[in-house]
Structures are given as structure tokens and as C-alpha cells.
Amino acid sequence: MMHPRRSLAPMPASSEAKAPRLANRLLWLCVPIGIVAVVVILLLFRLSLWLALAIAFLIACPLVVVWVLVAQRGLPGSQRRKR
């Protein structure tokens, strides 16, 4: 059975724009999932729940700040204007 040839033409802009928008909407999930993972790992080392939470947030907060700063550098319009 022959399959029809696929066109080498670029995809429409609407389908190209959907994937990044979906990824950007789900990107915020990385932070809570990472915090939960750190807490679980620290609990496996027999640390108390409160100590594990404190360590997770002490690690996560500076990383989130750096992550946001790096992500903003890639956005259009966030670059400095040339004089």
C-alpha cells in the first residue's frame, strides 16, 4: 500500500505557535515537582519533614530567581535597546 508523499512545505504558523505556548504554560510545573522530589529524597535520608522542606526551599528559591532571569533574556523585547 502506497502512502501519500508528505509535503516539504513549512508547517502553518498556527501549529508552530501551539507547541511553545503549551510548553510555556506547563513550565511552571517544574518548580513544584522539583521541590517535591527534593523533599522525598531528603526524607529517604531520614530527615524530618520540616527540615526537608526548609532545605528544599532554601535550594529552590535562588534557583527559581536565576531561572526566571535566564528565561526573560530569551524573550523578545527584553533586550536592551541600542542607542
How confident is the model over 20-31, as pLDDT tens digits? 777 777 777 888
Q: Answer whether residue 16 shows pLDDT above 70.
A: no
What gap in Å lies between CA 32 and CA 70, rounded to an integer? 19
What is the residue-averaged pLDDT of the chain? 77
How many domains does the structure of the chain reveal?
1
Give domain status of residue 59, yes or no: yes
**CA atoms of 45 and 38, how far apart (whole Å):** 11
Q: Is 0.85 topped by the overall pTM?
A: no
Does residue 15 form part of some domain? no
- Does residue 26 lie in a domain region? no
- The answer to whether residue 47 sits within a structural domain is yes
Contact present, 38 and 59 (Cβ < 8 Å): yes
Inform me whether the pLDDT recorded for 41 exceeds 90: yes
64: containing domain: 31-75
